[in-house]
């Protein structure tokens, strides 16, 4: 696996470098369709969209003999997973993540274990999230959830698809690791 780092820069140079190689997500997506990294109003938390790492498929080749047929599924590694195509080839499952960096601001390099990283919402099958923003009070975030069924088609040139805006409230007095996030659809 390749190394992934998130760097925070100030006018004087690099302030913080987070090693996200062991994070529970894939690449952070930052573009005009899925949105950018969003700072909380207190500037101690980041909200962003990232790829969900697919579960490893425990499958075997069609050409190998199997002793125990319950262990794996034949040919599952060949299952097709559609993506958004166009300029977003390879992007198919996304989630919103919040990274609390308030305890990490005194170091240059750290791992997310010392920072707190959570996935905001587990989406239903056939949904993709994008465009995360903080509420001005800092007590929640909003993001767009696109419906992808029956199939994903490009988002760059065809954004007229069923979608909804979701608000996830974040209580401000608890630490991020102890919070229970509640989601509410605004559609």
pLDDT given for residue 104 in this prediction:
63
| Residues 8, 178: Cα–Cα separation, whole Å | 25
From residue 31, give the alpha-carbon distance in Å to each of 16, 86, 87, 131, 179.
Answer: 22, 13, 10, 9, 29
pLDDT band per the 50, 70, 90 thresholds, residue 181: very low
Length of the chain: 187
Average pLDDT of the segment spanning 50-55: 80
Alpha-carbon gap, residue 96 to 120, rounded angstroms: 5
In tens, the pLDDT along 11-48 reads 888 888 888 877 888 888 888 888 889 999 988 889 99
Residue 182: C-alpha distances to residues 97, 129, 143, 163 (Å): 14, 16, 13, 19
Q: What is the pLDDT of residues 68-82, one digit of tens each?
A: 655 556 667 677 777
Residues contacting 49, CB < 8 A, separation 6+: 28, 29, 30, 34, 35, 94, 95, 96, 97, 129, 130, 131, 132, 143
- So what's the pLDDT on residue 60? 67
The residues, any chain, with a CB within 8 Å of residue 126's CB and separated by 6 or more, are 147, 148, 149
Give pTM, 2 decimals: 0.76
């Amino acid at each position: 696996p390749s190394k992934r780092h998130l760097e925070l820069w100030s006018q004087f140079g690099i302030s913080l470098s987070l090693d996200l190689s062991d994070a529970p997500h894939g690449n952070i997506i930052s573009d005009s369709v899925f949105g950018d990294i969003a700072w909380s109003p207190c500037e101690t938390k980041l909200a962003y969209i990232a790829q969900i790492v697919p579960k490893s498929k425990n499958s075997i080749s069609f050409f190998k003999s199997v002793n125990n047929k319950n262990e794996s599924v034949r040919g599952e590694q060949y299952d097709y997973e559609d993506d958004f195509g166009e300029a977003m080839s390879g992007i198919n499952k996304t989630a919103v993540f919040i990274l609390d960096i308030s305890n990490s601001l005194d170091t240059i390099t750290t791992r997310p274990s010392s920072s707190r990283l959570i996935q905001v919402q587990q989406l239903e099958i056939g949904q993709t999230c994008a465009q995360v923003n903080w509420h001005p009070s800092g007590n929640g975030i909003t993001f767009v959830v696109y419906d992808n069924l029956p199939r994903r088609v490009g988002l760059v040139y065809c954004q007229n698809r069923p979608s909804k805006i979701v608000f996830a409230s974040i209580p401000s007095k608890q630490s991020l690791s102890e919070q229970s996030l509640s989601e509410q659809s605004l559609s």
